[in-house]
Structure 1
Amino acid sequence: MQSTSAVFNEKTVHLLNGLLFVALFASTAWQLSQWGYVASLGLSPLIVGIALGISYGNTLRGHLPANWLPGVLYSSRGLLRAAIVLYGFRLTFQDLARVGLDGFAVGAIMLTTTFLGGTLLGTKVFGMPRRLAMLTAAGSAVCGAAAVLAVEPVVKAKSHESSIAVGTVVVFGTLAMFVYPALYNHGLLDLTQRGYGMFVGGTIHEVAHAVAAGRAVSSVAGDTAVITKMLRVMLIAPLLVLLGVWVARFPDKDGHADAAKASRAKRGHNLRSFPWFALLFIACIGINSLGIVPPKAVSRINDLDIFLLTMAMCALGMETSWSKVRLVGPKPFVLAGLLFVWLAAGGYAVTRAIVGIGG
């Protein structure tokens, strides 16, 4: 018989093989995202990664060694939480002062209304599973694919549901990236460049989309858009905390939680369900705000963070099959389309009301 240590070492090797396999996909996605045509579309490594993962998952997935699967699953869960924590090094509390309360208010109002409205529409009108409705709403409300990944472990979503939610971000975030500058440049948005930047940062999906849509107008609009967008990203921390408390108090009725978990003591269940990584995310923001970490080190941390997020996206794609996607149907995309209309029209109205006419 094999010794316990030998079995442990064998499992560790298999886990590392799976992680290395996903890392190779992430490296490919990283390189492709820097390629001229892909870069011109504003597609981040995360989006390229999930596309590669889905392509593999629906073609060659059957050839993946079974003992490598733990590494793939760990990439989509354990590494994901670590990546969300490190995402805090992209933000500082000083960012709030740079755009003032106006930019914060635009982002906060749009996040709250989009997430709550999207969840209610998805569950009550379209009859979607609560997990999928929340993922789709989060992708539109906060920061695209990164928000979907952050919310996924809190609501205990399935891989194909996360992939579908990310797909809605790709479609409507890319659309917004081209539509917003066109509307502004044709004089259809009565906002200054700073106001336009707040509008973009407070409503558009991905950070990359916000950069492209803002810079297409001016550097002032681009800078304001990025800062407002990152403030909106910062709000994901309280969202995750509140969402964790809500999910623990009102478990999903879709039967996703098993009976064993349901029978545990409520207090213990709540503690286990609480998204502690959200607090570590805030801690990283605080550390970055103090300026005690050298800029070069922060840059390296941000590169590592994007790579870990890309690994998570690749792994999610590998676990997504078209048969599961077809079962869900077009409802998530219809919901995301309605949220896109709200973000554009409602976001413009909110920005005008807060910043002022011509602001």
Structure 2
Amino acid sequence: MLYQIQKKYQLSERFVSITFFFVLSVSAFYLAQIEYLKSLGLGLLTISMLIGLLFGNVMPYKMHALLEDGMVFCKQRLLRIAVAFYGFRLSVQQIQALGAQAFLIDVILIVTTMGLAVWMGIKLLKLDKETSILIGAGHAICGAAAILATSSIVKAKNEQVAVAVSCIVLFGTIGMFVYPWIYQYVSHAFVTDRIFGIFTGATLHEVAQVVAAGQAMTPQAAEAAVVTKLIRVLLLAPFLLLLCYWLTRNSSSNQSAGPIALPIFVFGFIACMLFNSLVNIPEYIHAVIILADDLALATAMVALGVSVRIVDLRKAGLKPILLAFVLTLQLMIVGGFLSLL
């Protein structure tokens, strides 16, 4: 059908494919508004990934060939622009309001989680470097968004990104239900709502999962959880720059490795955050920017899902799931200890 439309109206393949991915992302956006799916912690990016996987595994090969040009554009250029505009969700004022405790906890957890992911994934489980880094980034920072941003730096394959996102969906969803259950038993003992909110935001994976878990607690806990999570999102920028530096150093000692491109979009992320902090953007304009960014990220995720075959996910085996489980456990233990200090 798409092929016939493209021929009839003499449209470029890129235009047709981007439009196709965008339409699917809009569908994912409306599905993400359903209360039941919200209660399951299925955010826009997760639903977009699932829709992409569904279409990608049922469409004929001829349609895959038609979508290829736009698929590459969405997964690379559009993704980087969307990550840069992600900075409009943050402000310096939000960070100052929560204080240094949440910031320090987030930094320590990111360092320890990434260190454990690289050591266990590469050295112990013998996973490839890209998958280990992607799973670590998703756990340490902000789930699927961090995985997508990191994938453009480590030059990960589609199936590697899909495996990492799947791990985030699995253990993040479990955590979303477990955290409110734990909260019921500790909130009246020695843990305040603010402390447990910081713990939740610092250790749960996806922003949507943090919001869903926070809604099952008190408003004070939910607010602390969301702001702490946003600080983790802010740390995505320095994390990507440090990751780029580390990969560049490693590639310089390995002549067979290709050059690592400087992630210019990270500076765009920082610029958007500073602009959002210093300029009083009208609320309706800000809402439009966030909506456009959500749809751009969702379009990139749909394109990624379409390009992945289920058989590729099966080849990964149980090792990525084991790594994700250990990282989730580490986040809860170390994060819980740091939150009580």
Q: Cα deviations across residues 184-236 of structure 1 (Å, max 9, x unaligned)?
A: 10238731000011101111101111112122110000001111110111001
Match of 1:314 in 2: 302
Q: What is the distance in 2 between the residues matched to 1:36 and 1:218? A: 19
Q: What is the distance in 2 between the residues matched to 1:198 and 1:108? A: 13
CA-CA distance at 1:39 after TM superposition:
2.0
Q: What is the distance in 2 between the residues matched to 1:35 and 1:213? A: 16
Q: What is the distance in 1 between the residues matched to 2:51 and 2:76? A: 18
Instruction: Tell me which stretches of 4 or more aligned residues in structure 1 moved more than 4 Å.
Output: none
Q: What is the distance in 1 between the residues matched to 2:229 and 2:73? A: 29
Question: Any idea what SS the aligned residue of 2:99 has?
Answer: helix
Matches within 5 A, 1:59-78: 59-64=58-63, 66-78=65-77
Q: What is the distance in 1 between the residues matched to 2:63 and 2:251? A: 34
CA-CA distance at 1:65 after TM superposition:
5.5
Matches within 5 A, 1:124-163: 124-163=123-162
Q: Which letter maps to 2:159? A: H
Matches within 5 A, 1:274-293: 274-293=262-281
Inter-CA distance 61–236: structure 2 relative to 1 (3 Å threshold): farther
Match of 2:282 in 1: 294
Match of 2:170 in 1: 171
Identity score, percent: 35
Matches within 5 A, 1:190-205: 190-205=190-205
Please provide the CA RMSD for this pair: 2.0
Q: Cα deviations across residues 169-198 of structure 1 (Å, max 9, x unaligned)?
A: 111111111111101102387310000111
CA contact (8 A) 2:38 2:212 kept: no
Question: Any idea what SS the aligned residue of 2:142 has?
Answer: coil
Inter-CA distance 61–183: structure 2 relative to 1 (3 Å threshold): farther
What are the ranges of 5 or more consecutive residues in structure 1 without an aligned counterpart? 1-9, 263-268, 354-359
Question: Any idea what SS the aligned residue of 2:130 has?
Answer: helix
CA contact (8 A) 1:248 1:274 kept: no
Inter-CA distance 66–336: structure 2 relative to 1 (3 Å threshold): same
What are the ranges of 5 or more consecutive residues in structure 2 without an aligned counterpart? 1-9
Q: Which letter maps to 1:183? A: I
Match of 1:265 in 2: none
Match of 1:35 in 2: 34
CA contact (8 A) 1:23 1:311 kept: yes
Q: Cα deviations across residues 240-283 of structure 1 (Å, max 9, x unaligned)?
A: 00111111221399x9x9x6x74xxxxxx45xx11111111000
Inter-CA distance 132–302: structure 2 relative to 1 (3 Å threshold): same
Inter-CA distance 202–170: structure 2 relative to 1 (3 Å threshold): same
Matches within 5 A, 1:195-234: 195-234=195-234
Q: What is the distance in 1 between the residues matched to 2:264 and 2:166? A: 27
CA-CA distance at 1:63 after TM superposition:
4.2
Q: What is the distance in 2 between the residues matched to 1:251 and 1:326? A: 30
Q: Which letter maps to 2:297? A: L
CA contact (8 A) 2:143 2:165 kept: yes
Q: What is the distance in 2 between the residues matched to 1:93 and 1:158? A: 35
Q: What is the distance in 2 between the residues matched to 1:66 and 1:17? A: 12
Q: TM-score of the superposition, structure 2-length normalised?
A: 0.93
Match of 1:357 in 2: none
CA contact (8 A) 1:197 1:222 kept: yes
Q: Cα deviations across residues 115-162 of structure 1 (Å, max 9, x unaligned)?
A: 121121100111011000000001100000001011000100011111
Does 223-232 or 37-46 show the bigger shift? 37-46
